[in-house]
Amino acid sequence: DTGVSQDPRHKITKRGQNVTFRCDPISEHNRLYWYRQTLGQGPEFLTYFQNEAQLEKSRLLSDRFSAERPKGSFSTLEIQRTEQGDSAMYLCASSYRGDIYEQYFGPGTRLTVT
Amino acid sequence: AQSVTQPDIHITVSEGASLELRCNYSYGATPYLFWYVQSPGQGLQLLLKYFSGDTLVQGIKGFEAEFKRSQSSFNLRKPSVHWSDAAEYFCFTNFGNEKLTFGTGTRLTIIP
């Protein structure tokens, strides 16, 4: 069990560019979550998957955001036409449905939009 | 509306002193309750959780929390803090059907 991993750990991009983040959950976990955390705030829920199905999306997930989990393993979060307000830490977590409420978090991807 | 509140933004405690961090929720039933800790550069780590049953739950690193239904609270405690406990602490709730909400966090500073 290597834990939840995220790549990249840091991303600096210019406003208007597209970015994509990857999350690899713990291997036997079938639920995967994305959160966004801005400075001085708690993480805010964005979306979650059970296997490859995206079951819930927050209102925070605007049309510029899209998440996928094509084979029920790793997931990607893409932000199109980035804005300065997108600067944040993007956290991924996973859980096993047999213990669905205990989530294990990755280290996060810090996005800076200049 | 469902919500979770951590009233204390920042707490400073002397090393060896006791600690209590407050968490209150607003919900018509008992949610699933958790405390997570986030150290600089580290991911969120689960300290403890409450689903049902015994209202005093024990967690890792010597932490415990008590669920009080009458006060809609789930406060985190530690009898004697160590310098390594300095971190950000988050109360987290699952209101059911994956309605997931973090509190705004309490930053803990430890002074020698």
Tens digit of pLDDT per residue, chain B (112 long)?
Answer: 788 999 999 999 999 999 999 999 998 888 899 999 999 878 899 999 998 889 999 999 999 999 999 999 999 999 999 999 999 999 999 887 777 899 999 999 999 9
Let me know if B100 is exposed, middle or buried by CB neighbors in 10 A (0-12, 13-18, 19+).
buried
Structure letter (DSSP) for residue B85:
G
Which residue type sits at A102? E
Inter-CA distances, A79 with A84, A112, B63, Å: 12, 12, 38
* A40, A44, A105: residue with CB nearest B44: A105
Interface residue A103 vs chain B (CB under 8 A) = yes
For residues A81 and A92, give the distance between their C-alpha atoms in angstroms, rounded to a whole number: 21
Q: Which residue of B has its CA nearest to A95?
A: B98
Q: Which residue of A has its CA nearest to B5?
A: A42
